[in-house]
Structure 1
C-alpha cells in the first residue's frame, strides 16, 4: 500500500486520526514530531529555543526523505512540514496526501495548552487567535497541494478515519 500522509495545521487531529487509521489499515504509524524529538533527545520547543527553527526544519527534511522511502505507513506530519516544497514532492511520490483542516475556533480549543506549540506560544493569549489566523492564511495554498481535504472541526477521529478509508477505496489504494 502507498503511504498515507496526513498534513494540516496544528490541532486538526493528525496524530489522533493517524493512530486510528494505521490501526484500522494494519500498518505502521509514524508521528514526525515524536520521531524528531526521539532522535534529537529533546522536545520540539527545546529544539526551537536552543537550535532555532532552521535547525528543526533540517531535521524534519531528513526525516521526510527517510519516511518517503517506506511503504505501508500512515505518516502524521508537523504543521509546517509543507512549507518546504521538497517535502511535499517527496511525499507525493510515496503516497496519498490528505489534509486535515479545522476552523480557527476548533484549533484554538485543541491547542490551548502552552509549552507544546512553539509557533503559537510566542503569542500571548489575546494574540493566539491572530497568530492562528495569520499562519492558516499563510499556509492555505500549501495545504491545497493535498490529494484530499477533510474539515475535522465537527468530526470525531473515528468519523475522520471512516471518511479517509472511503476516499482511499475510491482511489483504488484500498480494496473493498
Structure 2
C-alpha cells in the first residue's frame, strides 16, 4: 500500500479526517505537515505561513522525506497551499495516493477563522477559492465530498475508493 495524502482547501477537514483514518486503519501512521512545520521551527503555523517562501520550501522538504521507505505507510494531512508547488503535486501523485476533500463553499467560509489564516487577512477568500479551484481539480486521483456532520460517512466513501 502507498502513503495517502489528504489535499484540499484550508478548513475542509483534512486534519480531522486523516487523524480518524489512522484510528480505523492501524497499518497507517498519521502525519500532519502543519504540526511538523510548527515543531521544526517552534512557531505557530499562522506565524510560519506569513513567510510563504520558507513555508512552501518546508512543505517540499517534508514531502521529500515522507516519500522514502518507512516501516509503515503514512497518512498525511497537508496544508491547503501544498498544491501550489507543481513538484509537490508530482511527487505526491507518483509516490502516493492523493485524496482531495471538498465541502460546500458556504460551510467553508463559516469554518475558517481569519485570525488563524494569515492568507485571508485581506478578505480575499473568494479570490483564493477561485484561483485554486482549477489546481485542486487536477491535483488528486480521488475527490471526496466531506460530510462534516457525519465523518463516518466520509470515511466510508474513502474506504470504498481505496
- TM-score between the two structures when normalised by the length of structure 1: 0.83
Q: Is the counterpart of residue 166 in structure 1 residue 150 in structure 2?
A: no
1:138–1:153 distance in 2 versus 1, CA, 3 Å:
farther
Which residues in structure 2 correspond to 1:83-98 (within 5 Å)?
A: 83-98=84-99
**In 2, Cα distance between the equivalents of 1:134 and 1:111?**
15
| 1:53 and 2:46 matched | no
Using the alignment, how far apart are the partners of 2:63 and 2:74 within structure 1? 13
TM-score where L is the length of structure 2: 0.90
Mind listing any 5+ residue stretches in structure 2 that lack a counterpart? Answer: none
SS in 2 for 1:115: helix
Matched, 1:116 2:116: yes
* 1:35-69: CA deviation from partner (whole Å, max 9, x where unpaired): 100111101222244xx211111111111111122
- Displaced runs of 4+ in structure 1, greater than 3 A? none
Partner of 1:136: 129
Cα 1:154–1:85, aligned 2, differ >3 Å: closer, same or farther? same
State the SS of the aligned residue for 2:116: coil
Report the secondary structure of 2:12's partner residue.
Answer: coil
Is the CA contact 2:13–2:148 (under 8 Å) kept in the aligned structure 1? no
Aligned length: 158
Highest Rg: 1 or 2?
1
Unpaired segments of 5 or more residues in structure 1?
169-176
Q: Quick one: structure 1 residues 48 and 9, their matched pair in 2 at CA, closer, same or farther if it must change by over 3 Å?
A: closer
